[in-house]
Amino acid sequence: MQLDYDSSVITFEQLLEIFWMSHDPAERTWSRQYMAIAFYNDEEQKKLIYKTMDRYAAAGKGEIRTLVLPADTFYQAEDYHQKHAMQLDYDLKYEFRKIYPDFRDIINSTAAARINGILGGFGKWAVHAGEIDTYGLSDIGKERLIKYLKAPWQL
C-alpha cells in the first residue's frame, strides 16, 4: 500500500513501528504478490527503516525477511483487493455504492478506508465515536458500524 501522511501528526519512524508490529517480518514470503517490503524515497527514510528493523530484530523477533527497496512506480491492486473487508459487508458496501457509483471513488475515499479498517478489526470505539457522522452513512449504516465497534461478534 502507498501511504500519504502528515508528518506534524505522525512521524515516518512512528509509521515504521506500526509497520513492524502489523506483520511478521520473520515470516518467509511464498508469493511475490504478498511480499513484505518497506520502500523508501530517500536516504533518511532508508536509514530509519534499517534503524527500526534493527531494533525489532534485537528484541528477539527472529531473522528479518522483510525487504527494503527504493520506491519506484506504484501500482494499485486489482479492484477485488480494494477495501476487502468492506466488500464482504453487503450493507455497508451498498451504502458506499450509493454515495460513490464509481468504485474508483470508493477506493480513494477516506471514509471507506476508515470503515474498511473497522471491519478488518482495527477499529476502536473511542477513536471513531466522534467521526461516525462524517462517514456519510445512513442511520442504519451508522447503527451497524456502532454495533460492530462495540461487539463485532454480534453481526
Helix, strand, coil fractions of the chain, as percent rounded to 5: 55, 5, 40
Q: Is residue 5 part of a domain?
A: no
Residue 6 resides in a domain: no
Q: Are residues 83 and 107 in the same domain?
A: yes
Q: Give me the helices (H) in 25-124, please.
A: 43-58, 84-87, 90-99, 103-107, 110-117
Residues 130 and 107 in one domain: yes
Size of the chain in residues: 155
The pLDDT-based confidence of 155 (bands split at 50, 70, 90) is very low
Q: Which domain holds residue 93?
A: 79-154
The domain boundary residue, chosen from 23, 52, 70: 70
- pLDDT tens-digit map of 107-130: 999 999 989 988 888 777 777 888
Q: Let me know whether 57 and 102 are in one domain.
A: no
The tens digit of pLDDT for each residue in 40-72 reads 999 999 999 999 999 888 887 678 889 999 999
4 within some domain: no
The percentage of residues in the chain with a pLDDT greater than 70, rounded to a whole number, is 96
